[in-house]
Structures are given as structure tokens and as C-alpha cells.
Amino acid sequence: MSDIEKRDIRALSKDEIKDFFVNNGDKAFRAKQVYEWLWSKGVHTFEDMTNLSIVTRELLNNNFVINHINVDEMQRSSDGTIKNAIKLYDGNIVESVLIPTDKRTTACVSSQVGCALNCAFCATARLKNMRNLGADEIYDQVVVAHQQSNLYYGHPLSNIVFMGMGEPLMNYEEVIKAIGMITSDEGLQMSPRRIMLSTAGLPKMIKRMADEDVKFGLAVSIHSAIDSKRSKMMPINQKNSLADLADSLVYWYSKTKRRVTYEYVIWDGFNDKKEDIDALVKFAKILPCKINIIEYNEIEEDGFKQAAPEVTDAYQKALESAGIVVNVRRSRGKDIDAACGQLANKHK
Ligand code: SAH
């Protein structure tokens, strides 16, 4: 078999690897050894699996490849944020970001090459060439972030957010597999409580996650609580109304008992009026939530502008007097285009 025909062994589950060994007259327990080499030790070649016999290593070599990511370029912001351009085995590039604060380091990882959702304000939407990332490609971004956190900040990675390129709920299976490895004993042993998945809001998938009793947190990009406006900024709202979204989130809360985080950007002349504030307050009261007002990061030629600080203040006041928790977030890594919505492989 040529390397192109061989399967990526990291796309196989432990049971599939076990079956492979048994079918080839080898021992079932090899699967556990190989799995550890692949995931917790992260080797890039079968030769490195030193507790396997030469015959076993050859068997693997003849049937599989080990795909892995490579950091193509690393940039550091004046505020300490790190952005990685990551080259995949097929030459595609995605970006991941590492954000240090006093108490923690957060990795922001990508789930797709490009994105199909076309949100009007997001740089990733301008990219073509969309494909889903494999679970191993998502996992590897976290491994890189973990190593960089130790190296540059002197402490391990503490949190992961799926807020990089792509819509994680449109690559659900691989994202779930990756989270499984990130949290498992064979992988990075991180707590799912420290992982947050951010979605533009796909009600069906939100219900599915609730049914599957996932243990990570959920963030939803709202940006307007008025359907006609939200549909303009986020075309996905045209077929998935705010009412359907709210319905799925109520279901999520009833199953998981975890409050949802809403992400919200305030644009000049778009959602800066009293009716916008009132709509958000009403929407936020439907279920326990927390609102993150995030700074708008300008991308080229989109014509959008962040609203004046007084508007943010008005939002904050109205939400707080309605008893809703609200954080106003400042962007990080803007000087290297590493902030929310700026990931667009610009270095190439
Ligand atoms: N597809 C997912 C995750 C990727 S985007 C989602 O939609 O949630 C991560 C966050 O960045 C989302 O809240 C998104 O709305 C926001 N975002 C996108 N472009 C932005 C920009 N130019 N400025 C600020 N936030 C932006």
C-alpha cells in the first residue's frame, strides 16, 4: 500500500485497533499500548513505539500512517496571546490561539477549515475551502497549546474554548471524539468543566447534546434577540429562529442544569437601540444564563463598527437591573489578528 492509500490510525477507536490486531494474528492487548503511544505520548512514527516488536511495527507501517499537525507559524501578541497557524497533513491551514490571564490559560481551537455559516461580521466566513477537522487534528491543537502554556507561561493549560474557526456543531462527531480524548485518562485528563463549546445556534444539535448528557459548557452567539436583525447578521437564523433556539436551550438547561453563556457584540447603528436592549433582556430571562458582551474586532471592508461605550453601559445596566450576570470582555491578541472573528489565515 502506498502512504496515500493507508488509513490514518488515529481515526480508529481502541476497539477498531484491537480488531485489527486480532484479525492479523497479533495480541489484542497491543491495542492499549498503541493507543497510549498515539494519544498520551503523541509519537509521530511507528518506529517510536519501542515496546512493540519489529514485526508488529512493520505490520502497522504497512497498513497505516500517523497524521499529525505542524505549527507552521507562531506569533506572539504584545499582550502575551499566542496565535498558531497550523498546517494539516493535506496542506490546509487552521489557526488556534492561546490566551493567558492571571489565573488561567485558555486555548481557543478550530473545528473546521473555513466555515459554512457566513456570519456577516466574521473573517472566517470569507474563507473558502471548507472541510471538517478530524478528532486527532482538534486534539493536537490542544496538545500544542498545552506545551506552549508550560513553555511560555510556566503553567499548564487550564481551559479550552471551541471558538476558533468553524462551527463545532457542524462537525459534531469529531468534536465529541476529541473532547473524549482530551478528558480521558489515555489523553490529557482535563476536566470537561473546563471546556466550552461555542455555537451560532443549531437547535437540533443542542437538544442532541443535552440528550447525550455532555459535561462541557455551552456558549451561544446571539448578537441580536430580534429575529429580523439576527437573520441579517447570521443567516443561520433564517431557518432556526430565536424561539426554536430558546426552546432547545430550555431543554439543554432542564437536562444539564448548566447555565448557558450568550456572546453578544454591539454594533453602531445595528443593535444599539432601546428595543435591542429590551429584546435581549427578555431573551435572557427565559433560562439561567450569563452574558458576555464581546468587543467587535474590525475585519477588512465589512463596514461594521463597534457601538459607543455608552451603549455598552446601557446594556450592562439594563441586564444587571434585571438580575442577569453580564461581563464586558476586552479583546486579546488584536495586533496579530488573533481576536474573535479575526482568524482568516492572513499570514499566507
Ligand atoms: N461558530 C461558533 C464559534 C466560532 S466564532 C460560533 O458562532 O459561536 C467565536 C465567537 O466570535 C462567536 O461568538 C462569534 O460570533 C464571534 N465573532 C465572530 N466574528 C467576530 C468579530 N469580527 N468580532 C468579534 N467577535 C466575533
In tens digits, what is the pLDDT along the chain, a chain of 348 residues? Answer: 777 789 999 999 999 999 999 999 999 999 999 999 999 888 999 999 999 999 999 999 999 999 999 999 999 999 999 999 999 999 999 999 999 988 899 999 999 999 999 999 998 888 877 899 999 999 999 999 999 999 999 999 999 999 999 999 999 999 999 999 999 988 899 999 999 999 999 999 999 999 999 999 999 999 999 999 999 999 999 999 999 999 999 999 999 999 999 999 999 999 999 999 999 999 999 999 999 999 998 887 778 999 999 999 999 999 999 999 999 987 778 788 877 777 776 654
Ligand 1 test: best mutation among 99, 122, 262, 292, most atoms within 8 Å of CB?
122
Q: Ligand 1 center to residue 75 CA distance, Å?
A: 21
Instruction: Give the pLDDT score at 335.
Output: 80
SS3 71: strand
**Domains, in order of start, for the chain:** 7-65 (1.10.150.530), 70-336 (3.20.20.70)
Q: Is 124 in the pocket of ligand 1 (CB under 6 A)?
A: no
Q: Ligand 1 center to residue 346 CA distance, Å?
A: 17
The dihedrals phi and psi of 54, each to the nearest 5 degrees, come to -60, -40
* Closest C-alpha residue for ligand 1 atom 9: 163
Instruction: Give the pLDDT score at 87.
Output: 96
Q: Ligand 1 center to residue 122 CA distance, Å?
A: 6
Contact 153, 105 (CB under 8 A): yes
Of ligand 1's atoms, which has the minimum distance to the CA of residue 200?
7
Helix axes 242-256, 203-211, angle to 10 degrees: 10
Let me know how long the chain is: 348
* Closest C-alpha residue for ligand 1 atom 15: 221
Instruction: Give the pLDDT score at 331.
Output: 75
> Does residue 95 have an active-site annotation?
yes
Annotated catalytic residue within 36, 95, 137, 263: 95
Q: Is 107 in the pocket of ligand 1 (CB under 6 A)?
A: no
SS3 160: strand
Contact 313, 307 (CB under 8 A): no
Relative to beta strand 289-294, strand 325-329 is parallel
Q: Write down the pTM of the prediction.
A: 0.93
Instruction: Give the pLDDT score at 347.
Output: 58
Contact 294, 263 (CB under 8 A): yes
Helix (H) or strand (E) holding 344: none
Instruction: Give the pLDDT score at 130.
Output: 85
> Does residue 16 have an active-site annotation?
no
Q: Ligand 1 center to residue 150 CA distance, Å?
A: 27
Q: Is 293 in the pocket of ligand 1 (CB under 6 A)?
A: no
Instruction: Give the pLDDT score at 157.
Output: 96
Q: Ligand 1 center to residue 279 CA distance, Å?
A: 20
Instruction: Give the pLDDT score at 170.
Output: 97
Q: Is 110 in the pocket of ligand 1 (CB under 6 A)?
A: no
Of ligand 1's atoms, which has the minimum distance to the CA of residue 165?
4
* Closest C-alpha residue for ligand 1 atom 12: 221
